[in-house]
């Protein structure tokens, strides 16, 4: 069994952003030389997500509106977590969107459906944060 790991770093301009990382995950897979196996891609921070959905600006706008309805950022004092911090909402949004994606590797490629794109979802940005890519297989 082979394994490969890589950190990818982000520093978003806005508090909330969705970044398509599919090409960076493909690159990590190529570097690994693994032909058959699994890739785990997970946020290393607990106010961010890795998820798979459509690369469509209208949908990303819908995510923003929807997550703000389900777990609003403000008023900050609605969350007990917000003593020294103001990111209580980000911890909740990340539960909806998920921490990680596990993706099959087949014949050296990401085995994704026709519209599947991998995203980094940032809910408390404007600072350096990372995700982990770990690949196991042969």
Report the interface residues with its own copies, using CB under 8 A: 1, 3, 5, 36-38, 40, 42-46, 51-54, 56-59, 61-63, 66, 70-71, 79-83, 88, 91-92, 94-104, 106, 111-116, 130, 132, 134, 136-138
State the residue for tokens 């798979």: 52
**Least CB distance to its own copies at residue 34 (A):** 10
**Least CB distance to its own copies at residue 38 (A):** 6
- Identify which of residues 26 and 82 has a Cβ nearer to its own copies in the complex: 82
Q: Residue 47: helix, strand or coil by DSSP?
A: coil
**Least CB distance to its own copies at residue 13 (A):** 21
- Identify which of residues 27 and 40 has a Cβ nearer to its own copies in the complex: 40
- Identify which of residues 14 and 80 has a Cβ nearer to its own copies in the complex: 80
CA distance 34 to 29: 7
Residues in the chain: 138
**Least CB distance to its own copies at residue 1 (A):** 5
CA distance 58 to 56: 6
Q: Residue 21: helix, strand or coil by DSSP?
A: coil
CA distance 110 to 119: 14
CA distance 119 to 133: 13
């Amino acid at each position: 069994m082979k394994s490969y790991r890589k950190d990818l770093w982000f520093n978003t301009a806005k508090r909330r952003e969705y970044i398509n990382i599919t090409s960076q995950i493909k690159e990590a897979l190529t570097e690994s030389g693994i032909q058959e196996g699994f890739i785990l891609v997970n946020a290393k921070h607990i106010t961010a997500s890795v998820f798979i959905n459509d690369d469509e600006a209208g949908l990303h706008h819908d995510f923003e509106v929807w997550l703000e309805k389900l777990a609003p950022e403000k008023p900050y004092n609605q969350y007990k977590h917000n003593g020294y911090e103001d990111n209580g909402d980000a911890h909740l949004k990340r539960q909806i969107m998920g921490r990680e994606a596990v993706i099959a590797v087949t014949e050296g490629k990401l085995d994704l459906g026709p519209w599947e794109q991998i995203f980094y979802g940032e809910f408390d940005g404007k600072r350096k944060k990372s995700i982990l890519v770990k690949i196991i297989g042969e």
